[in-house]
Amino acid sequence: MAIALRKNDEIAKLREANKIVAGTLELLRDHAKVGVSLKELDAMGEEYIRSFNAKPSFKGLYGFPSAVCTSLNNVIIHGIPTDYRLEEGDIIGFDVGTQKNGYFGDAAITVGVGQITKEDEALIACAKDTLYHAIEIIEDGMRFKELSYEMEKFILSRGYVPLRNFCGHGIGKKPHEEPEIPNYFDGTNPKAGPKIKNGMVFCLEPMICQKDGMSKILANGWDVVSVDELRGSHYEHTVAIINGRAEILSIT
């Protein structure tokens, strides 16, 4: 497994692509209001991305039809935008990718629409808090398997379980590169496998289920849910390892 080590100029280009992602997510968060359709939000996101002479990298990727993944309620990731109009109490995940000057950006958030339940607030907080916990504990020399182990432990401590069969990933000149970074640990020794090193750039994306982490893809071939069919949540940042620690690139 070859994990790229990025030079400073490459990280600068990745930061540029990811700043556009972050701005897009802020726009979508601000417009996730009652009565707005998922297709309208997708169009807003695409227009914003293209205004920076960037491309929405998800559009057409593996056949995905839209610029933004809009994952509504029990859809945890890869939701296809539809004509559905948001209602009070919905929760929705936005996952955005960009390509700018040959380099990619990727991040995601889950937000509530109007007043949401305390249960949904806690569900969303688990994804966000897991992500920031993982970013905080990363250091040069840590194993990726250790990071997966720590994320799973954090998720379980909140009373939830990680979605299986999907994971975080490297990113650079392609939207998905080595390594794969699950939110759970499979194996016997977390201190095995590749180490995190300065210059690596990758996406961490906790995907949270309530009871059963086994995933299921719906009939449209994209929407991913838990087999428990309960609501889920998703957060993601692109980070670069600089001076031994993880620095978030996907912020404005």
pLDDT by 10s per residue, the chain, length 252? 589 999 999 999 999 999 999 999 999 999 999 999 999 999 999 999 999 999 999 999 999 999 999 999 999 999 999 999 999 999 999 999 999 999 999 999 999 999 999 999 999 999 999 999 999 999 999 999 999 999 999 999 999 999 999 999 999 999 999 999 999 999 899 999 999 999 999 999 999 999 999 999 999 999 999 999 999 999 999 999 999 999 999 999
Domains of the chain: residue spans and CATH: 8-247 (3.90.230.10)
Residue type, 24: T
pLDDT at position 116: 98
Residues contacting residue 190 through CB under 8 Å, at least 6 positions apart: 143, 145, 146, 148, 149
Q: pTM for the whole thing? A: 0.97
For the record, the structure tokens of 57 come out as 């990298």
Can you give the pLDDT at residue 119?
98
Strands 215-217 and 224-226: antiparallel
**Structure confidence at residue 74 (pLDDT):** 98
Strands (E), the chain: 55-56, 68-72, 75-77, 91-100, 103-112, 161-162, 167-170, 177-182, 201-204, 207-209, 215-217, 224-226, 233-234, 237-242, 245-248
Distance separating alpha carbons of residues 108 and 176, to the nearest angstrom: 15
Return d(Cα 107, Cα 142) in angstroms, integer.
23
* Residue 88 · residue 81 · CB < 8 Å: no
Angle, helix 38-50 to helix 8-31, in steps of 10 degrees: 150
Residue 1: what pLDDT? 59
Amino acid 201: pLDDT: 98
Which residue type occupies 125? A
